[in-house]
Structure formats: C-alpha cells, structure tokens
C-alpha cells in the first residue's frame, strides 16, 4: 500500500496550496452571496474534507445537506449507471444551493445530481468543485467555482480515494491505478 504513494514532497497540490485556494474560494462565495443564506450540499464521500474546510471559510448563515451516489457498470449501457444511496433533500426547496464536489471528471455524476436537485425546486443552484479534469468531460457542465484545474491523471488524497483508501492524506498526489492496491 505504502509504495503507491509518492512522498509528501511530490504532492501535486500541497497543504499550503489547498489552504490558500480554499480561503480565496470562501471569500468569493461569501461576497457573491452577501446578505443571503446558503445551503451547502456535500457530495459524499470524496468532498468531505473540502466541504469541512470550505464551510469554515464562508462567512454566511449556512445549512448543511449530504448526498451520496454510487455508480456501477451496467452491461446494457456503454457507460456507468449512477444511483442515489442518500438523497438528503430536506432543505433544498426555495433556497440558494451550492453543490460541493471533490472532482468533476466525465461530468456524469454532476448532471445526475443537478437533475435530481432541480426537481426539488431550489431558488438557485451553483456548483463548486475543488478539482476539474476537463480533458475527460463527456457531459457538458457549467462550473461556478473551481479550486484547481488538473491534468488527466488519477489523484488521491484530501478526500479523494483509490479503492476507498488514501482519503486522509492532507495533500493531493498522483497514483498509478494500474498498480495493485492490496
């Protein structure tokens, strides 16, 4: 397991870079929604660390909501099918909603989430992602706040996993997912 991880010195995005950028995002969001209340929607599990740190950089009255999806290969379709594990929909109606994602890759998860949240009649919906991997996009999505644009490599740390591991790394690094994780 250890051997897959590059040393902390080889982080693609360091703890300091994360802290600085998240502070900037928090300030921007606080300014854009000045004098308003906001519902922050955390997309479990990958966004948890980003969500917790970003929330503390936003100086607005906030509500927290949590959603979780799962995706699996469906042999009848060329792409992965996405389903809800947790729909957490109590605080969406007539409210300003900001979705907090770890990474937007193909865009399929986000468009699925947007479709669901829009049926709950929010006042507005915007999207904030820590990482954006535009080279892999299959479904167009319009992102309102982006932490970092990243190349087409597999990333772990700061919430992002490989086979549910590495989420607790305080920085973001690259692994080769073709290596054996066990």
**Annotated catalytic sites, by residue?**
105
DSSP 8-state secondary structure symbol assigned to residue 165: B
46 near Mg ion, rule: CB under 5 A: yes
Residue numbers at the binding site for ligand IMP (CB under 6 A): 46, 101-110, 154-155, 160
70 contacts 82 by C-beta, under 8 angstroms:
yes
CB closer to ligand IMP, 17 vs 106: 106
Decide which of ligand IMP, Mg ion, none touches 107; Cβ closer than 5 to 8 Å per partner kind.
ligand IMP
Return d(Cα 86, Cα 128) in angstroms, integer: 20
CB of 36 to Mg ion, least distance (A): 27
Decide which of ligand IMP, Mg ion, none touches 105; Cβ closer than 5 to 8 Å per partner kind.
ligand IMP
Decide which of ligand IMP, Mg ion, none touches 160; Cβ closer than 5 to 8 Å per partner kind.
ligand IMP
161 contacts 182 by C-beta, under 8 angstroms:
no
157 near Mg ion, rule: CB under 5 A: no
Query: Between the CA atoms of 21, 24, 26 and 27, what dihedral angle is there, to the nearest 10 degrees?
Result: 170
Return d(Cα 146, Cα 102) in angstroms, integer: 10
Q: Which residue is nearest to Mg ion (CB)?
A: 46
122 near Mg ion, rule: CB under 5 A: no
CB closer to Mg ion, 105 vs 173: 105
Please tell me whether residue 55 adopts helix, strand or coil conformation: helix
Task: With CA atoms as reference, report the closest residue to 98 among 139, 149, 155, 57.
Answer: 57
Q: Name the residues that contact Mg ion, by CB under 5 A.
A: 46
């Amino acid at each position: 397991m250890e051997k897959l991880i590059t040393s902390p010195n080889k982080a693609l995005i360091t703890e300091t870079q994360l802290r600085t950028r998240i502070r900037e995002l928090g300030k921007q969001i606080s300014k854009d929604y000045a004098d308003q209340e906001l519902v922050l929607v955390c997309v479990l599990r990958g966004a948890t660390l980003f969500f917790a740190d970003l929330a503390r950089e936003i100086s607005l009255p906030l509500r927290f909501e949590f959603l979780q999806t799962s995706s699996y290969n469906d042999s009848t379709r060329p792409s992965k099918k996405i389903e809800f594990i947790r729909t957490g929909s109590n605080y969406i109606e007539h409210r300003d909603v900001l979705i907090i994602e770890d990474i937007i890759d193909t865009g399929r998860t986000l468009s699925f989430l947007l479709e669901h949240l829009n049926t709950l009649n929010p006042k507005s919906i915007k999207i904030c992602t820590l990482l954006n991997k535009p080279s892999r996009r299959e479904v167009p999505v319009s992102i309102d706040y982006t932490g970092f644009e990243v190349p087409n490599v597999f990333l772990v740390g700061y919430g992002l996993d490989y086979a549910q591991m590495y989420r607790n790394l305080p920085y973001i690094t690259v692994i080769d997912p073709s290596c054996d994780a066990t």
